[in-house]
Structure 1
Amino acid sequence: MMTTEAPRTDGALAGLARFCYRRRRLVFLAWIVGVLAVAFIGFGYGAAPDNDMSGGGSGSAKAQALIEKHFPERQGDTLTLAIKADKGIDDPAARRKIEKVIADLDASPITGPVTSPYQDKNLVTKDRRIARTIIPLTEKDAKKTEVKPLVDTVKQASGDGVSLGLGGERAEKAETPKQSPADGVGVLAAAVILFIAFGSLVAMGLPIVTALMAILGGLALTKLSGYLVPAPDFTVVFAALIGLGVGIDYALFIVTRYKDGLQEGDDPESATVNAITTAGHAVLFAGTTVVIAMLGLVVMGQRLMTGVAIGASATVLVTMIAAVTLLPAFLGFIGHKINSLRLPRRTSRRPVSAGGPAPTRRTPAERWARTVQRRPLVAAVLAGAALLVLAAPALSMRLSLPDASVQPHDRSSYTSYKILSEGFGPGYSAPLIFATEAGSKDELGPAVEAVGATEGIAYVTPPQVSKDGEAATFTAFPKTGFQDEATTHLVHKLRDDVLPKAPAGDKVYIGGPNAAAIDYSQETGSRLPLMIAVVIVLSLVLLIALVRSVTIALQAAVMNLLSIGAAYGVLVAVVQWGWFGSALGFATDMPVTTWVPLVMFPVLFGLSMDYEVFLISRVREEYERTGDTRTAVTRGLARTAKVITAAAAIMIAVFTTSVLGPDVSIKQVGLGMAVAVFIDATIVRMMLVPAVMELCGKANWWMPGRRAPKTTSAAQAGVGERAEV
């Protein structure tokens, strides 16, 4: 016989939900005070970002260490003023304009002495139409607000036959707008989706308010975590993107279960406890999976990626805690008013997500599941083939860090890049800086000659010896630009073939921003498989513990890999190949930013596991109720289709709106993750999962040492009660 099993009301989660519901004023006050205090400290006194991607034992890191040790005069940031005059820089009108700009830049309190191109002929092209000059910054970490006036001065002076551009990392950052407006669009889009899904302004507002409060506290902790582990400046934007998506989704799942409980006749407190012990339990598993997946970045051994992992994990952790503590308190205040301020609709029907007997009339999700189950092999092959086709471009993925050449064309930094490339060659913005401990120019001479004679090198500067006489350096400019694949091949050729054959060349290291970006990309590519393996193994252990099935866990891992691979493929096609790139706001074709696939994988794997957890948890409930896999999958899909679709739509909206932002790397992250979530919620969840589970049958529930449950004929016929043997 089978007996109806009531939801647990004596567990830790049930006790927590009951406490937060009954002591809602205390819980709400504690959250307000806590968030405001952490936000004040975090945003007011948080750690400054660290964008130094170098380090480790790479050749560029060794070159940088030598330069920092023996050439202290070269430390500090610089800007480059690029000048182009149609009539030549000696034209009286052009000269007056150019000299005024140089004087204004020289007068700034954050700049050092500026050498005029009229004083040094090496700064001017032979036709005297294009010139350049270096502007040293006296402050090591000049603020955007300090550099922005310099950029504005240069942009405003351009015109009347004279083009001016201010380049350099600080100039790029100074003229890059903040990402926040796009985040606001994401919140608005999420609100619209929630209102359509719930049909109530009150139900719509709960997930958003809960998520925003959690994100505020989480981002403040992200800023503070920088004191323990340094993190780059994109960490806060990335954490906000992830936190907003998962925070709203987690609250959405719990609110949906709460509404179902009220419709089944539960009082508000019982509905809250039931929602937390069911959907809240799944939220904790799902959030833990995301955190563990993010912490997989630690195995990369890169200190900044470790900072990203810890910072983003802190935000996700706070959203999880808010979902099972703050949200029950809100539900205590709302009670039966959850459906207040409703959207006018026709007579409502019993929602597919409610428990109890299945509706007599099948929902679209049930009919779709039955269609897939009638031809499971065909569905699985079609879905798998589609994912493989989408993933194919990922095989040609190239990694690099963005520079001025890939910025929007209205930026001063891009103008500087174009002028310098035209006058001094595209390799001027991609210098290779060689450093060695050789003590004289004569010792370095053979290496200088060998480098200068290498195909692909435009010219080489004379070697310079440090003041202490213990190191020497010289610079070579390639004929190709920073993002050109030929530049990468050139660096490897110099390291592997040219320098080893030159006398003492094995002690010469190649550094500079270009070589550092190449080394960082190579290091990332070599360690990425290890991170993928660690994330998969840890996520599998968690999923097996939740769904109690090795087979389903393995299915989830394979499907997640396919959907992430497809997202990588679409990213390559858009960003690197240029398919629809301009329509999506990418100024030009470019390699994928090195850290983008690195942070995308753990986040997407964790988010995919989220949907797997919510779907399979419901399928598991139905299987324990009926003992029939086909019925369990059909009903599980029907009862979660609406909420998973809404959750996925929110994620897609949040991620897609980041494409509206100004940062090319964040745009890539948003595009890739939006595509992955769309694929996961459609091809994977709606087609591949029911097809594969139909093919596996009873094997879906294989777990070492466990026997399949016995069921009665009534259960096999589909009696819609949760039951136990």
Structure 2
Amino acid sequence: AAAALLLLAAPAADLRTFTPDVRILPPSSSVRAGYDAVDEEFGRGTASPIVVVVRGEEPLPGSAGGDEARRLHDRLAGLDHVRRVDPPSDLLEPALRPAAGHYLSADRRSIVLEVVPDDHASAESTRALLTAVRAATAELPGGLTAITGGETAEGVDANAAIEDRLPLVLLVLAVVTYLLLMLVFRAVFLPLKAIAMNLLSLAATYGVLVAVFQWNLAGFGYVQNFVPVLLLAILFSLSTDYEVFLLDRVREEHLAGASDVDSVAAGLTRTAPLISGAAVLMVAVFGAFMLAGILPIRQLGFGLAIGIALDATLIRLVVAPAAMRLMGRWNWWPSSRRRTPAAPSPTLTGVTR
């Protein structure tokens, strides 16, 4: 079972994320139709340029800063995967200044350069172009500063922010889960097993999500960047709930005097209907998200349904009891003593009779 889950998790190593763009809408949407029309008539990438704002200490027209801005324009236009740079490089010439209102600020100290890529904002080539644009704008001389934005920059920076914080989120989840389970069950190793199984189930869910929505089986190419974070929080919590249901019943049997094998078997038998029933209900609810027309909701619902289905079957029915069987008496270490049923009191026996 663990090998099967690891096999499902393998595609997760190729996980790529990005912010949602207009393609998350169905083709029947008027917004999507307008976006596709712009792409078709004016070239792909026109609707999502990389925006560079250049700011000088003095008015740019007729100054050294204006000359540097024109040179920057030419450097950007020469980068790979650039369709064009708006406005034209001679925008700051006196004859064209009346047409510069859209690109030149009122105080004439700032100018906007729109670098139009030759692909969608989320494409790998456009992300590489953003890196090149930022490298080019970092070489400006003193007195000029540049800020890079646009849809591609938003997606790349959002990914970076999530990636920077995701290890901390995972660490907090693991530590809090471990401490709570350790206090509840008074055991050192059971919480570690629970966390390991949660991570295994989550990795398998990510792998299936990548295979369906990123490897072009559903025709998109990446996963919405907030979906893995939500899946981590929700599935980790639900998996811990299932673990508590199972372990609480196993512990009751164990404290009542049952052997390690018998307590696991009894706990599994008595909690399986509850866990399976709850899982079927949630898989049905989250699976209904697949009927939504917006792609991020479909990805989230699919991930939740797959994650819960894997957790309620392979994890709870196979991996969890097998792991407890292999751990034996170490499940409850250091509090591994059992209570033996007390002998009936003569007085109570007489009263009962």
TM-score by length of 1: 0.43
SS at match of 1:522: helix
Whether contact under 8 Å (2:26, 2:294) holds in the other structure is no
CA contact (8 A) 1:500 1:506 kept: no
Alpha-carbon distance between aligned partners in 2 of 1:651 and 1:560, rounded to the nearest angstrom: 17
Which of the numbers 72, 77, 89 marks the counterpart of 1:447? Answer: 72
After superposition, give the CA deviation of every residue in 1:624-645 in whole Å (9 maximum; x if it has no partner).
Answer: 1124111110000000111110
Is 1:549 the counterpart of 2:187? The answer is yes
Distance in 2, matches of 1:710 and 1:672, equals: 42
What residue in structure 1 maps to residue 111 of structure 2?
A: 472
Q: Distance in 2 between matches of 1:637 and 1:711?
A: 22
Pair 1:635-2:266 in alignment:
yes
The amino acid of 1:687's aligned partner reads V
Q: Which residue of 1 aligns with 2:43?
A: 425
Aligned to 2:28: 410
Measured in 1, the distance between the counterparts of 2:228 and 2:209 equals 9
CA contact (8 A) 2:275 2:312 kept: yes
Deviations, residues 193-246 of structure 1 (Å, cap 9, x unaligned): xxxxxxxxxxxxxxxxxxxxxxxxxxxxxxxxxxxxxxxxxxxxxxxxxxxxxx
Change (3 A) 1:600 1:707: closer
Equivalence for 1:669: 300
TM-score (norm 2): 0.86
How much does 1:400 deviate? Answer: 1.1
- Asked if residue 389 in structure 1 is aligned to residue 11 in structure 2, the reply is no
Q: Is the 8 A contact 1:432 1:476 kept in 2?
A: yes
Question: Which digits, 9 at most, give the CA deviation of each residue in 1:164-191, with x for residues without a partner?
Answer: xxxxxxxxxxxxxxxxxxxxxxxxxxxx
User: How many percent identity over aligned positions?
Assistant: 36
Q: Report SS of the residue matched to 1:508.
A: strand
Matches within 5 A, 1:171-190: none
2:170 is aligned with 1:532:
yes
Q: Aligned pair in 2 of structure 1 residues 688, 403: CA closer, same or farther (>3 Å)?
A: same
Measured on the aligned residues, the alpha-carbon RMSD in Å equals 2.0
Aligned 8 A contact 2:24 2:294 in 1: no
Matched residue type, 1:633: V
C-alpha distance in 1 between matches for 2:221 and 2:121: 10
Structure 2 Cα separation of the partners of residues 710 and 657 of structure 1: 47
Query: What per-residue deviation string (whole Å, max 9, x for no partner) do you get for residues 495-515 of structure 1?
Result: 2x3333454598312112221
Contact 1:406 1:590 in 2 (8 A): no
Alignment partner of 1:460 out of 74, 85, 90: 85
Structure 2: tracts of 5 or more residues without a match: 61-65, 92-102, 344-353
Report how many aligned residue pairs link the two structures: 322
**Aligned equivalent of 1:648:** 279
* 1:9-37 deviation digits (Å, cap 9, x = unpaired): xxxxxxxxxxxxxxxxxxxxxxxxxxxxx
Pair 538,505 (structure 1): closer, same or farther in 2 beyond 3 Å: farther
1:590–1:408 Cα change, 3 Å: farther
| Secondary structure of the corresponding residue to residue 626 of structure 1 | coil
Question: Is residue 333 of structure 2 the alignment partner of residue 702 of structure 1?
Answer: yes
Residue 412 of structure 1 aligns with an amino acid whose one-letter code is S
Q: Deviations over 1:412-443 (max 9, x none)?
A: 22222222222221111221111132241334
Per-residue Cα deviation, 1:255-311 (whole angstroms, up to 9, x for no partner): xxxxxxxxxxxxxxxxxxxxxxxxxxxxxxxxxxxxxxxxxxxxxxxxxxxxxxxxx
**2:337 is paired with a residue of what secondary structure?**
coil
| Secondary structure of 1:465 counterpart | coil
Counterpart residue identity of residue 286, structure 2: F
Runs of 4+ in 1 over 3 A off after TM superposition: 501-506
Q: In structure 2, what is the Cα distance between the partners aligned to 1:501 and 1:399? A: 29
Counterpart pick for 2:221 among 587, 590, 595 = 590
Report the CA distance between 1:599 and its aligned residue.
Answer: 1.4
Are the equivalent residues in 1 in contact too, given 2:257–2:339 (CA < 8 A)? no
SS at structure 2 position matched to 1:428? coil
| 1:23-422 superposed matches below 5 A | 383-422=1-40
Q: Give, in whole Å, the separation in 1 of the partners of 2:3 and 2:276.
A: 23
CA distance in 2: counterparts of 1:707 and 1:652, whole angstroms: 36
2:248 matches 1:609: no
Give the Cα separation in 2 of the matches to 1:693 and 1:507: 61
Q: What letter is aligned with 2:189?
A: T
**Runs of 5+ consecutive residues of structure 1 not aligned to the other structure:** 1-382, 582-587, 715-725
Alignment check: 8 A CA contact 2:255 2:339 kept: no
Taking a change above 3 Å as real, the CA distance of residues 393 and 504 of structure 1, as seen in their structure-2 partners, is farther
> How big is each residue's C-alpha offset from its partner over 1:308-336, in whole Å with a ceiling of 9 and x where there is no partner?
xxxxxxxxxxxxxxxxxxxxxxxxxxxxx
For 1:503 and 1:453, locate their aligned partners in 2 and report how far apart those are by CA, in whole Å.
19
Tell me how far apart the structure 2 counterparts of residues 392 and 494 of structure 1 sit (CA, whole Å): 34
CA change 1:696–1:623 in 2 (3 A) is: same
2:109 and 2:132 mapped to 1: Cα distance? Answer: 27
Are 2:223 and 1:571 equivalent residues in the alignment? no
Contact conserved, 1:436 with 1:508, CA < 8 A, in 2?
A: yes
Counterpart CA distance in 1 for 2:73 and 2:162 is: 30
- Determine the C-alpha separation between the residues in 2 that align with 1:710 and 1:639: 20
**Partner deviation per Cα, 1:456-495 (whole Å, 9 max, x = no partner):** 1110013633112342221110011123121112112222
